[in-house]
């Protein structure tokens, strides 16, 4: 099955990318992202997968029938290389390992995230500090709402958050038959996100670091870091400094040039930084105020038009932009007694 450059990438099937590399989109029910791409790499020493999908019966059934069409079974998967710990990439690797014994590898930087999830499951509470982030952003009311949504979301697949067999290190080489994939740490979307670079074939398995049509959320993770957007922009510049490659993203169609898309993403964030700065200069004080002043998605929605989950992502992303503006000395910040960060134009 081949797909056109823009439409139809999420349709079930297998896209043959040549020389034993296959793109397989798997379903994400009720998700605006529509599908997650997993990549099968076949060689004489077995089948290796980059990312695994969300552990759902429909997803595993589609993976099985897709692999069958290229002569493999799910139990032939020798190893999963997972780009980051989000459920649509990681959980199916754990589910398949449990039954068929595949090895699961994940970036070493994700260990705090998985540890936090495991601790939260044990203590029967929500993972992470989204509520803290939202309160700091001046959006305490939304924090309560989000906790209710997450309670229903997290209940289902607690068993699929076990640890990987192996933590991948930066610059580590993974042999896949005749190919060598180099592990590159690209923190930002999550703190331990990694991409896999096949320099010889000029392919970049980019996970959610570089997506062709959308910008990945920043810092939505169980154990957040202080400056996720700074890290993300640094990681974009890092892949820009490497030789250009074909972009094999986790969501969206394969694209010819990582560099072209990275340039667009850097420009997008430059624009967002300027808009956020202007909003503060015009009087917005908290991340929530600034998110209200900005427009969201390509359709230029107002914050209040987004559903609560997307409002949460928009506000935490705005906070990340404001924090970078502080690092760049374009804004100043002070924290009020009740823990809310208030921004103002830098006196210098
Ligand atoms: Zn994703």
pLDDT digits (tens, 9 = 90+) for 216-263: 988 788 888 989 999 999 999 999 999 999 999 999 999 999 999 999
pLDDT digits (tens, 9 = 90+) for 73-107: 999 999 999 999 999 999 999 999 999 999 999 99
Residue 53 has pLDDT above 90, yes or no: yes
pTM score over 0.85 = yes
Distance CA 345, CA 278 (A): 9
Cα(343) to ligand 1 centroid in Å equals 31
Distance CA 102, CA 5 (A): 33
Cα(70) to ligand 1 centroid in Å equals 25
pLDDT at 157: 62
| Residue partners of 307: CB distance under 8 A and separation at least 6 | none
Distance CA 47, CA 80 (A): 9
pLDDT digits (tens, 9 = 90+) for 14-40: 999 999 999 999 999 877 788 999 999
Cα(333) to ligand 1 centroid in Å equals 32
Cα(214) to ligand 1 centroid in Å equals 11
Distance CA 130, CA 147 (A): 9
pLDDT at 150: 65
Please identify which residue in the block is written with the tokens 């000395």.
329
Q: Specify which residues 47 forms β-bridges with.
A: 42, 77
pLDDT at 90: 96
Dig out the tokens for 34 from the structure. 């529509």
Distance CA 234, CA 229 (A): 8
pLDDT at 5: 45
Cα(216) to ligand 1 centroid in Å equals 8
pLDDT at 3: 44
How buried is 268 (Cβ within 10 angstroms: 0-12 exposed, 13-18 middle, 19+ buried)? exposed
Instruction: Answer for the pair 211, 251: CB distance below 8 angstroms, yes or no.
Output: yes
Cα(167) to ligand 1 centroid in Å equals 19
Reported as a pLDDT band with limits 50, 70 and 90, residue 191 is: very high
pLDDT at 6: 46
pLDDT digits (tens, 9 = 90+) for 124-169: 777 667 778 888 899 988 877 777 666 655 555 677 889 999 999 9
More confident: 256 or 177: 256
Cα(251) to ligand 1 centroid in Å equals 7
Residue 315 has pLDDT above 90, yes or no: yes
To the nearest whole percent, how much of the chain has pLDDT over 90?
A: 74
Instruction: Answer for the pair 192, 171: CB distance below 8 angstroms, yes or no.
Output: no
Q: Which of 143, 14, 45, 159 is nearest to 92 (CA)?
A: 159
């Amino acid at each position: 099955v081949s797909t056109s450059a823009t439409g139809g990438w999420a349709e079930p099937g297998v896209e043959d990318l040549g020389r034993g590399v296959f793109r397989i989109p798997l379903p994400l029910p009720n998700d605006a992202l529509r599908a997650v791409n997993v990549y099968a790499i076949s060689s004489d020493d077995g089948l290796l997968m980059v990312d695994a999908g969300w552990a759902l019966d429909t997803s595993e059934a589609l993976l099985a029938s897709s692999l069958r069409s290229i002569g493999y079974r799910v139990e032939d998967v020798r190893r999963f290389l997972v780009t980051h710990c989000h459920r649509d990439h990681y959980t199916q690797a754990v589910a398949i390992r449990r039954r068929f014994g595949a090895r699961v590898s994940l970036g070493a930087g994700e260990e705090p995230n998985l540890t936090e999830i495991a601790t939260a499951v044990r203590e029967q509470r929500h993972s992470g500090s989204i509520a803290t982030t939202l309160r700091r952003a001046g959006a305490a009311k939304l924090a309560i709402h989000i906790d209710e949504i997450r309670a229903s979301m997290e209940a289902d697949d607690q068993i699929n958050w076990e640890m990987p067999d192996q933590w991948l290190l930066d610059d580590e080489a993974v042999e896949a038959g005749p190919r060598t994939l180099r592990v590159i740490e690209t923190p930002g979307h999550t703190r331990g996100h990694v991409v896999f670079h096949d320099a010889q074939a000029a392919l970049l398995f980019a996970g959610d670091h570089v997506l062709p049509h959308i910008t990945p959320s920043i810092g939505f993770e169980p154990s957040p870091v202080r400056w996720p957007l700074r890290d993300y922009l640094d990681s974009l510049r890092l892949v820009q400094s490497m030789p250009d490659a074909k972009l094999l993203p986790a969501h969206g169609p394969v694209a010819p040039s990582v560099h072209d898309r990275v340039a667009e993403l850097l420009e997008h964030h430059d624009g967002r930084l300027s808009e956020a700065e202007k909003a503060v200069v015009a009087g917005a004080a908290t991340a929530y105020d600034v998110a209200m002043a900005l427009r969201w998605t390509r359709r230029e929605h107002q914050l209040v038009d987004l559903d609560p989950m997307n409002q949460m992502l928009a506000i935490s992303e705005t906070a990340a932009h404001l924090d970078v503006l502080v690092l760049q000395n374009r804004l100043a910040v002070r924290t009020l007694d009740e823990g809310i960060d208030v921004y103002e134009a830098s006196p210098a």
